[in-house]
Amino acid sequence: MPLKFNGQSEELEGDGWSPLAPARRSPAGSCRSRSSVCWIGAVALCLGLLLLSVILVAHTTNKVNQWDAKYTDLMEQLWKGQDGQPAEQNMLRAPPSNLTRELKVMQNQHNTLAASLDRLQEELNRLNVNRTDLIQLDARCSNMIYELSKSKKNLTAEQEQLKTQFNNLTGEMEALQKQYDSVVASRDQLQEEFDRLNPKSNVTERMCPSSWIKFGNKCYFVSPSSQKKNYANSRKDCQSRGGDLVKITSRLELDFVKTHRAIAWIGLTRAEDGHSWVWVDGTTLENHEFWQDGEPNNADMEEDCVEISREASAWNDVPCSRSFSWVCES
């Protein structure tokens, strides 16, 4: 490479100048060599500074570009925010039609609920009035129930008193009936004894009341065919006529009684012991030959009275509640 120093040039070839060559040159040459080194150092320094400046400029430029991008994005966001605010304000200032419709619906619902509330209030007032009436009615009913309870207690007490009186009267009636039966039995015995002691008196005909039938030395009343009574009422009818239900003591008398009615009550009932039988005059049945075959059997467990059958020509035990004709004896 050709180099020039102070206007003079030399070609460095072969054994030309070398920085490491021994200092064999003249003072002028030595000065030129040092000057070249200084220029080279200055140029290298400038190049280093230039490179450093380029690096710094590049780095600064990159940072500036980054900040510029961030600034641009920020400005765009701010402009977008400013552009959206009027629209939102317009939306808030002017409600959409659907909100208006909902507001009207809610207003209608409010009016409906208010009307319903008024009706419920009226119904509540009416129910309060009815409740007051019901409370008063309940009080009256309670008083009536209390009075009825008192009346029931009084009636129960009176009923017990009447029942006691009835039982007493029944006992008295039964005692009188027994006395009456004893008197009738005594009368019949006296009459038989009188007839036995005075045979001539049998010639005298005994007079029977009207509607009665005379048979032997007795008078008999046969109930009308159209009338039927139970045992107790049949006996009461005989007693009201001055007699009692017939007491059959012989086959002859049985045949006489059966000819008048198909079935009729006679004065024979079951005794309190449940086994023996007694006549209305209080005497016990001794002759059992006039029962039907298989009788008495108490089939209904309450057959305590006796009827005579024309067809069977014998006696049969039956419930006293049944209704038949009856035959009285005097």
The reported pLDDT for the residue numbered 320 is: 95
Mean pLDDT by 10 residues, the chain (330 residues): 40 41 48 67 80 75 72 72 57 64 86 88 87 89 90 90 90 84 76 66 67 91 94 96 94 92 95 91 91 90 93 94 95
Element housing 124 (H / E): helix 97-197
**225 Rama sector, left if φ>0, alpha if ψ -120 to 50, beta otherwise:** alpha
The reported pLDDT for the residue numbered 129 is: 86
Query: What is the reported pTM?
Result: 0.41
Cis peptide before 296 (omega within 30 of 0): yes
The reported pLDDT for the residue numbered 5 is: 37
User: Which structural domains are found in the chain, ordered by start?
Assistant: 210-329 (3.10.100.10)
